[in-house]
Structure 1
Amino acid sequence: MIFPNRLCKGDTIGVMAPAGLADLEDIKKAIPFFENLGLCVQLGQHVDNVYGYLAGTDQERLEDFHDMVANPNIKAIIFARGGYGTGRFVPSVNYELVRCNPKILWGYSDITYLHTAIRQQTGLVTFHGPMLASDIAKPHFDYFSGSMFKQLFQPTCLIYSEYISPLYVHDAGETEGQLVGGNLSVLLSTMGTPYEIDMKDKILLIEDIGEEPYRVDSMLNQLKMSGKLREARGIVIGDFANTESKLKHSFTIEEVFNDYFSNIGIPVISGFKIGHCFPHFSIPLGAYAKLSTYNKQLIIEPGVR
């Protein structure tokens, strides 16, 4: 794996919108957070463009991304928001440019597609964490979520235990391997493409928002039927927000997880505050991790050098 360089006070971060529309006022509300960390902020040329439900055309969003990757003065790219659209330009990404200019890339949700493509094409470790317009600008953005950015300034081993939130074991065991994954519905959209998520011998993270239990059931069934779930060494179930069913009769999301994971033969734990939630535990994707159901811990090695 390629590890990006850590940040230092005085560094400049770039902000661009690779997917859905990003409200410029919300972006501006979030900028003081980074300034308080001692960072300078440079906005992408097209960050507030509007093209249907996208933040500019595919070419405009790709141009902003390439410009920031190539700019030696920009040490990290923090994405403005998710939504939809990242997968539209991943075939046109200059992966050699990314490989030769490894820097911190930070975001989640629809950014899962970009995380997956970049990791599998270049080996770069990227970060699953809250974004400007959709998270940092909101009044409920909390101190704990903000503190997770400290890992960008100093190589930090992350430890998640029940000190942070209650955790539930679906199948017991211990394992270690590369941590991959992200938003479940976005991961499903990579299937059958050149950027299909590689789960073999890896610890898989899944999270999502607004998906009813039957929809999560359908997505997990596809992963099961395709043989993907059998390839993973362990599964980390992050936050599944707003999953209440509108049907008269339904399983709960917890019952769906039990159905798929209670006898899968690998360690599976749910309850992690990773995803569309606060607090938001930010993690480096592609880094080495250890998962144990015996002490209910996820330990992740540093994502920067």
Structure 2
Amino acid sequence: MNMIKPARIQKGDTVGVIAPASPPDQEKVKQALSFFTELGLHYKLGKNIECQYGYLAGSDEERVEDVHSMFLDPSVKAIFSARGGYGTPRIATQIDYEIVKNNPKIFWGYSDLTFLHNAFIQKAGLVTFHGPMLSSDLGGDSIDPLTKSRFMQLFDSQSFVYDETISPLVTEIPGEASGLLIGGNLSLLVSTLGTEFEIDTKDKLLFIEDIHEEPRSVDRMLNQLYMCGKLSDATGILVGNFKECEPSHSLSLTLAEVLQHYMKLANKPAVSGFQIGHCTPHVAIPLGTFSKLDASNRKVIIESGVK
């Protein structure tokens, strides 16, 4: 697959902010916008960012309109999601991927945005960014320094090495592996199965994370990926942060036991402990870039996501 890397941004550029999933906390969005100002950037809000339709940030049509508008707007150099939540799978079939492909730019978010990351990679060949969002991560009184620093990857094209200088890592299965880095939120990855957006892990490094899922639920989802051949098709596996995924009663396997079970079944080089996901600090990474995992020495080298 020939992936398209979006152009890096520069100080003085304008970035767009949209809400393609659930409605964000508008006050937190306003607080977070000062972060872009700190980076020397201007910002433009999506036309429908204040819309609300139940647990969605507006109707499907309104949310698709903002996606298309931001990609088509030549003044906007990068697109950031205000929050995750629910709803991006609903709009995936309505997005014009030719617009995305012909107007490649930085697209940033995580959690529910996993579905769009996967869709943009598959349908438009666009490298995207798995990173913290305005309402849920950047709208507080302070932002973790490491979380902040990973936004600088958008300004230059240097590769990134994640090793134990960043967080403690655990070798689940030793060995080396390489390929395009794909993945994101486990629940959303599983929701692609059986659709035209089904995750393709063949010869790729698979990254997974999640939040508020008990070990039994993580077990069910990993089992489904395993039975579909998605774990064994991957060249290697990166396990990110599984926040608040503890069992609610004593009759349970631990999360670690569940993860270890499926890593052994897949028998591919695997490392856990990456601070990527619903966590602080939250280390942002590009998806769709070529990466090398050295599981034995607990590190991964990730190619830059911008050109």
TM-score, length-scaled by structure 2: 0.98
Native 8 Å contact 1:289 1:298 kept in 2: yes
Letter in 2 for 1:262: K
Unpaired runs of 5+ in structure 2? Answer: none
Deviation at 1:264, TM superposition (A): 2.9
Partners of 2:262 and 2:252 lie apart in 1 by 16
Q: Which residue of 1 aligns with 2:155?
A: 153
Structure 1 match to 2:295: 293
Equivalent AA in structure 2 for residue 122 of structure 1 = A
Mapped partners of 1:234, 1:118: distance in 2? 22
State the 1:140 CA deviation.
5.5
User: Which residue of structure 2 aligns with residue 78 of structure 1?
Assistant: 80
**Displacement of 1:195:** 0.3
1:59-78 to 2 correspondences below 5 Å: 59-78=61-80
Alignment counterpart, residue 10 of structure 1, candidates 9, 12, 32: 12
TM-score normalised per structure 1:
0.99
Structure 1 residue corresponding to 2:233, chosen from 231, 234, 256 = 231
**Partner in structure 1 of residue 28 of structure 2:** 26
The answer to whether 1:117 aligns with 2:124 is no
SS at match of 2:266: coil
Match of 1:208, SS state, is strand
Q: Distance in 2 between matches of 1:50 and 1:122?
A: 28
Deviation at 1:247, TM superposition (A): 2.0
1:82–1:108 contact (8 Å) kept in structure 2: yes
Contact 1:23–1:48 (CA under 8 A) maintained in structure 2: no
Amino acid at match of 2:297: N
Off by >2 Å, runs of 4+ in structure 1: 138-141, 262-265
Contact 1:240 1:275 (C-alpha < 8 Å) held by counterparts: yes
Q: Partners in 1 of 2:142 and 2:42 — Cα distance?
A: 24
Aligned partner of 2:243 among 212, 237, 241: 241
What are the ranges of 5 or more consecutive residues in structure 1 without an aligned counterpart?
A: none
Residues 4-23 of structure 1: CA distance to partner in whole angstroms, max 9, x if unpaired? 00001000000000000111
Aligned mate of 2:186, from 184, 187, 195: 184
Name the CA distance, whole Å, in 1 between partners of 2:134 and 2:183. Answer: 21
1:139 positional shift: 3.6
Give the superposition deviation at 1:252. 0.9
Alignment: residue pair count: 305
Supply the distance in 2 between the matched residues of 1:222 and 1:160 (Cα, whole angstroms): 29
Task: State the partner residue of 1:108.
Answer: 110
The answer on whether the counterparts of 1:171 and 1:264 sit within 8 Å (CA) in structure 2 is no
Inter-partner Cα distance in structure 1 for 2:257 and 2:180: 27
Give yes or no for contact 2:226–2:266 (8 Å, CA) kept in 1: no
Equivalent pair of 1:237/1:269 in contact (CA under 8 Å):
yes
RMSD: 0.9
Q: Distance in 2 between matches of 1:79 and 1:293?
A: 32
Of the three residues 209, 214, 221, the one matched with 2:216 is: 214
Q: Secondary structure at the match of 1:262?
A: helix
How far the C-alpha of 1:294 sits from its partner, in A, is 2.2
Q: Which moved further from structure 2: 257-266 or 128-137?
A: 257-266
